[in-house]
Structures are given as structure tokens and as C-alpha cells.
Amino acid sequence: MIRTSRRLADGREILYFDDDRHPVPRDAVDGRDLPAVVPRSQLRFDPLLAEWVVVAAHRQTRTHLPPADRCPLCPSRPGRPTEVPESDYQVVVLENRFPSLATGAAREVAPAVEGNPLAELRPGIGRCEVVSFTSEHDRDFAGLGADRARLVVDVWAERTAELAALPGVAQVFCFENHGEEIGVTLAHPHGQIYAYPFVPPRVERIMASVRRHRDATGGDLFGEVLAAERAGPRVVAANEHWTAFVPAAARWPYEVQLFPARKVPDLPALTGAERDAFVAVYLDVLGRFAHRFDTPMPYIASWNQAPAAGGRDDWWLHLQLFSLRRAPGKLKYLAGSESGMGAFITDTDPEDVAEQLRAVVLP
């Protein structure tokens, strides 16, 4: 993999990643007249839930579903400059113009929110990146092909390692929002990476469960769950290195988790063979999501990696893939119980979902 670092007109970094079998010079210059990015993010602590909330009101003005001929992630053309100065590319990573977290966020903040000394205040330090998987506007991840998908995996790993090393970063989160129903603001095939200055609630809760189970039984909760699911009725696809299964207590109408057979903390720890094997299983499962109904499912693909420091020996890397679609033309809305109480009520049976996905005939 070849990495080329350049700067956009407002000083943000853009990184080109190319297959080393096909080197391409990356020398295009961003000639746009852009104002400097001034992030105003801050962290506010909820003392009742013991969780951090990111306040980033400047994101209200971010680009929202522009037409294809105005897509900011398509390559630049004569007379139509975009976020990507080159006329073509393989995979691109760039700093988000409307970041939730940024290394340049104001560091001088009050110790607490005005009027509530229990609500601690911190600067919104971190980094938010956009990962464009291809220069082709109408392609999606399921249609990238094995070589390009593998390049994306290598990019995720490279960015995870680099961002985790930044001062103050506690967690690196790679994810993809796919489909307008999910809430994407750009239709171009892309994902994002957040470098959080705190460990998010999901990781903290899983870590607590893993440690509690180890203290009570001496066992590895991750390993025991994986072993049980591999032998159970909810496996959707598998190979030597990876297993994709519908979890027994799935929260979402269609949810699949992908676990490597070997315990590793994060993407950089995967071998080349494990990355190839992931691509094979992941593209298979994405194809099943795309063809389960008459129209492709909207989905979120969420990498669960170990924190940047602390607890890494306890963690088992996995990917959570889930969709809000519960039936043709019907979405699962997070209504009163889910949004108000955090208590999920699922509309589908996990065993049935696994059987349905296995039965999908892939083209």
C-alpha cells in the first residue's frame, strides 16, 4: 500500500492510499478559496449516566445530500473542484470539514457547564476523518470487489494505529453508515473514523462484562460466546479465520457480528491472511443484506476495537453489522422503550433471521 499525504486549501490533511502494484503520482493542488475550519466542539459529562456527550453545534451547517453532480467526494473535474483535488483515486482519507472532534478544538474551557458544577466540561479534542472507498459515486462497499475491499481494510488498520498514538486519544472507531434511511448526508460510498478522547459507553459496558465473567468463572467471555455461536443455529457465513453470526440477543431487526477465530485487540493486529479472510466473509454477508429484500438494506457497520490503552489483553476485535429494516418498506424506529429507557424490543427472531440470510441466493 502506498500512502501520499497532501493538504487541502484550508490546511486539512488528505491522504491517498493506492495499491502498490499500481503506483500513481498524487500531485494535484486544491485551488479552492476555503475559510479555515474553526471547530467549536466540547465534551459535557452526564453525571447521572456517567457518560460523555459531544456538543458540536457547528455541524448544523454541514453538507446534506447534495445531487450527484455536486458530490464533494467525487474526483475534481475542470471547473468543478471538490474535496479531492485528483481526477481519480483508489481510497482517500481526509479530515472532516465539519468535525465532531478535532485536534484544533479550543482547549481553554471552564471546568464545568454553567449552572451545573456536576456536569464536567472538557475540550472536544480528537480527530474525525472521512474514508472514501472509491472514486465511483454509484458503487457501494458490497460491489467493491476483493482487492479494493482489502485495501480499505489496510487503510482502517493504518489509520487505527496512527490515530491511537495521538495524545489524548482513548478509542478509535471505524464505521460506515450506508443508506439514506440511516441518516447519511452524502450518498458517495464512504465511511468515517472517530478518534475519541474517552472510551465510549458500549466498550466500557462490554469490558465490565468481560472482567466480571473472568472474576466469577476464570473464563474468557468473548471466547465462550464465539465458541457457542460457531456451533449454533445462527451462523450466516464462516471460513477458517472468521465467523459471521446473528447474536442470540440481537437488538436490531437484521444484525450480524463478525469475529476472527484468533483473539486480537484491533485491526492492526490482523495478519494478511486474516484480512483476506475477513473480506471474503464480509462481502458475502453484505451481499446477503443487499439481496434479502427487493431493495438493499440500509445498514451501519461498526468496528469494535480495544481502547488505545488499558484492557487491550481482554478485548476481542469484532464487527457489528446491523440494519433498521425489519420488513419490505418498514423500518424499526427507536421509539419509547429503546430511546427513552434503552430497553430494546426486537421485531424479528434471531434464528429466523440467520436462516433467511443463509437462504439468500447471491448473484
DSSP code string of 52-89: EEEE-GGGGGS--S--GGG-TTSBPBTTB--SB-SS--
Task: For 334, list phi and psi in degrees, rounded to 5.
Answer: -80, 90
Cα(62)–Cα(183) distance, rounded to whole angstroms? 13
User: How many domains are there within the chain?
Assistant: 2
Tell me the average pLDDT across 190-215: 98
| pLDDT at residue number 300 | 98
Cα(223)–Cα(209) distance, rounded to whole angstroms? 13
Last residue of a domain, one of 171, 199, 227: 199
Residue 342 has pLDDT above 90, yes or no: yes
Residue 60 has pLDDT above 90, yes or no: no
Shared domain check, 209 and 164: no
50-59, 87-96, 127-136, 153-162, range with the lowest pLDDT: 50-59
Residue 23 has pLDDT above 90, yes or no: no
| pLDDT at residue number 62 | 83
pTM (whole model) above 0.85: yes
Residue 207 has pLDDT above 90, yes or no: yes
Cα(59)–Cα(51) distance, rounded to whole angstroms? 21
How much of the chain, in percent, has pLDDT values that exceed 90?
Answer: 93
Q: Which residue in 293, 353, 345, 274 sits closest to 321, CA to CA?
A: 353
Residues 288-317 have pLDDT tens digits of: 999 999 999 999 999 999 999 989 999 999
Shared domain check, 63 and 41: yes
Helices 272-291, 146-164: inter-axial angle, 10-degree rounding: 120
Q: What is the DSSP letter of 160?
A: H
| pLDDT at residue number 355 | 98
Shared domain check, 207 and 175: no
| pLDDT at residue number 106 | 85
Cα(175)–Cα(329) distance, rounded to whole angstroms? 25
Residues 75-126 have pLDDT tens digits of: 999 999 999 999 999 999 999 999 999 998 888 899 999 999 999 999 999 9
Last residue of a domain, one of 173, 199, 225: 199
| Cβ 30 vs Cβ 9: under 8 Å | yes
Shared domain check, 191 and 208: no
CATH assignment of the domain containing 116:
3.30.428.10
Cα(303)–Cα(172) distance, rounded to whole angstroms? 9
Name the residue range of residue 65's domain: 2-199
Tell me the average pLDDT across 329-347: 94
| pLDDT at residue number 61 | 80
Confidence of residue 21 (pLDDT cuts 50, 70, 90): confident
Cα(177)–Cα(14) distance, rounded to whole angstroms? 21
Q: What is the DSSP letter of 313?
A: G
Shared domain check, 85 and 18: yes
Retrieve residue 60's grid coordinates. Answer: 448544523
Q: Which residue in 52, 54, 59, 55 sits closest to 38, CA to CA?
A: 59
Tell me the average pLDDT across 221-239: 98
Shared domain check, 271 and 190: no
| Averaged pLDDT score across all residues of the chain | 96
Shared domain check, 306 and 172: no
∠ at Cα 230 (229, 235), nearest 5°? 80
- Residue numbers annotated as active site: 190
Shared domain check, 269 and 295: yes
How much of the chain, in percent, has pLDDT values that exceed 70?
Answer: 100
Shared domain check, 254 and 168: no
Shared domain check, 277 and 160: no
| pLDDT at residue number 73 | 98
| pLDDT at residue number 353 | 98
Residue 167 has pLDDT above 90, yes or no: yes
Shared domain check, 234 and 195: no
Residues 6+ apart with CB under 8 A from 303: 156, 173, 174, 175, 267, 317, 319
Confidence of residue 64 (pLDDT cuts 50, 70, 90): confident
Confidence of residue 138 (pLDDT cuts 50, 70, 90): very high
Residues 240-254 have pLDDT tens digits of: 999 999 999 999 999
Residue 8 has pLDDT above 90, yes or no: yes
Shared domain check, 137 and 236: no
Cα(135)–Cα(251) distance, rounded to whole angstroms? 34
Last residue of a domain, one of 137, 169, 199: 199
3-state SS of 194-250?
A: EEECCCCHHHHHHHHHHHHHHHHHCCCHHHHHHHHHHCCCCEEEECCCEEEECCCCC
